[in-house]
Amino acid sequence: MHFRMSIQPPPFPATAAPLSPVSVLDGASALAIELSQASVTFGVGANSVPALAQTSLRIPEGAFVALVGPSGCGKSTILRLASGLVRPTTGVVIVGGREVSAKALRIGMAFQNPTMLPWLTIERNIMLPLKIVEPFRSRYARDKKGAFRDKAHALLAQVGLKGFASKFPWQLSGGMLQRANLCRALIHEPRLLLLDEPFGALDQFTREELWAILQDLWLAHRPTVLLVTHDLREAGFLASRICVMSARPGRIIDDSAIDFARPRSIAMTFEPGFVALNQRLRELIVDARSAVPGDH
């Protein structure tokens, strides 16, 4: 079973001659996210909080990158930079080839704390992005009882919430809300998924089930995914690349390709190579946690 996502063709003119050897996708493939010396300081003067030290990060289209690091090191801040919710204090953030601005981008984001509107049913909460993001917005007005509703129900079934569409958020458990949160991030078929600890409040078994679903989704449609997690097994199971951050103000201290064959299985996470990866990451984070914060 797969999520249905449409793949947009690359932006080549229909009449293009055979591609020249120096196309934009050659060599360095197109970047979905590019942070160049981006830093974030919240507030000003004596009360300012340096959240993210100058950070450069290049994520090609279609990559699956996990971001791990001690609490408060700036992981969510990087996601907020990529979504345009936060502006960099210094440096530049480019997403989808454009410097991020207040303009809405077609991004799916699952926040660390599920933020459902309490007066809307789960189904309506999930369909909310369709009311906001073009090109769905115009179609939604005409067709909200049709295909979109079917899609919302299919997603709910896929995450084990069949039959909960007409419940209100306060009628669901924390774990159920997180699953609904994931459905809402996926409903508008984003090419970029920003996931902030999307499985944090789930029991281990449900979490592993959802890893498999997310892996299937990524293999089938190759959206770019930036996943923040504290679960190193989750990062190793899902990601093709793991970036480790130092303590606040965070910066990336390790950036490793994760080459285990796909599709990956839960059994793989107990094999020696995987366990060794976990141990290495764990040591990096333990060191980062105990390190004296850098000069700032």
Residues found near ligand ATP in the complex (CB under 6 A):
42-43, 49, 51, 71-77, 112, 248
Verify cis geometry, omega within 30 degrees of 0, for the bond prior to 135. yes
Does the footprint of Mg ion cover residue 39 (CB under 5 A)? Answer: no
Tokens of 222: 């190759």
Tokens of 148: 């979109």
- Using the minimum distance from each CB to ligand ATP, give the nearer residue, 126 or 228: 228
- State the binding partner of 77 from ligand ATP, Mg ion, none, CB within 5 to 8 A by kind: ligand ATP
Residue selected from 55, 76, 158, 178 as contacting Mg ion according to rule CB under 5 A:
76
- State the binding partner of 184 from ligand ATP, Mg ion, none, CB within 5 to 8 A by kind: none
- Using the minimum distance from each CB to ligand ATP, give the nearer residue, 73 or 122: 73
- Using the minimum distance from each CB to ligand ATP, give the nearer residue, 67 or 130: 67
Q: Residue 108: name the closest of 199, 191, 214 by CA.
A: 191
66/248 Cα distance (integer angstroms) = 18
Nearest approach, Cβ of residue 198 and Mg ion (Å): 12
- Using the minimum distance from each CB to ligand ATP, give the nearer residue, 75 or 124: 75
- State the binding partner of 235 from ligand ATP, Mg ion, none, CB within 5 to 8 A by kind: none
Dihedral Cα 32, 226, 36, 12, nearest 10 deg: 0
Nearest approach, Cβ of residue 76 and Mg ion (Å): 3
Dihedral Cα 9, 36, 283, 275, nearest 10 deg: 10
Number of residues that bind Mg ion (CB under 5 A): 2
Nearest approach, Cβ of residue 212 and ligand ATP (Å): 24
- Using the minimum distance from each CB to ligand ATP, give the nearer residue, 161 or 243: 243
Stretch of 111-119, 146-154, 230-238, 244-252 lying at the interface with Mg ion (CB under 5 A): 111-119
Nearest approach, Cβ of residue 49 and ligand ATP (Å): 4
| Region at 114 (left for phi over 0; alpha for psi -120 to 50; beta for the rest) | beta
215/112 Cα distance (integer angstroms) = 20
Nearest approach, Cβ of residue 258 and ligand ATP (Å): 20
The set of residues, in sequence order, having a beta carbon less than 8 Å from that of 239 and lying 6+ positions away, is 64, 65, 66, 227, 258
82/34 Cα distance (integer angstroms) = 9
CA atoms within a 13 Å half-sphere pointing along the CA-CB vector of 87: 6
Nearest approach, Cβ of residue 68 and ligand ATP (Å): 9
Strands 224-228 and 192-196: parallel
Between the alpha carbon of residue 88 and those of residues 16, 33, 149, 224, the distances in Å are 37, 14, 37, 21
131/83 Cα distance (integer angstroms) = 18
Give the phi and the psi of residue 184 in degrees, each rounded to 5.
-65, -35
- Using the minimum distance from each CB to ligand ATP, give the nearer residue, 23 or 48: 48
- Using the minimum distance from each CB to ligand ATP, give the nearer residue, 12 or 42: 42
- State the binding partner of 42 from Mg ion, ligand ATP, none, CB within 5 to 8 A by kind: ligand ATP
Point out which residues bind Mg ion (CB under 5 A).
76, 112
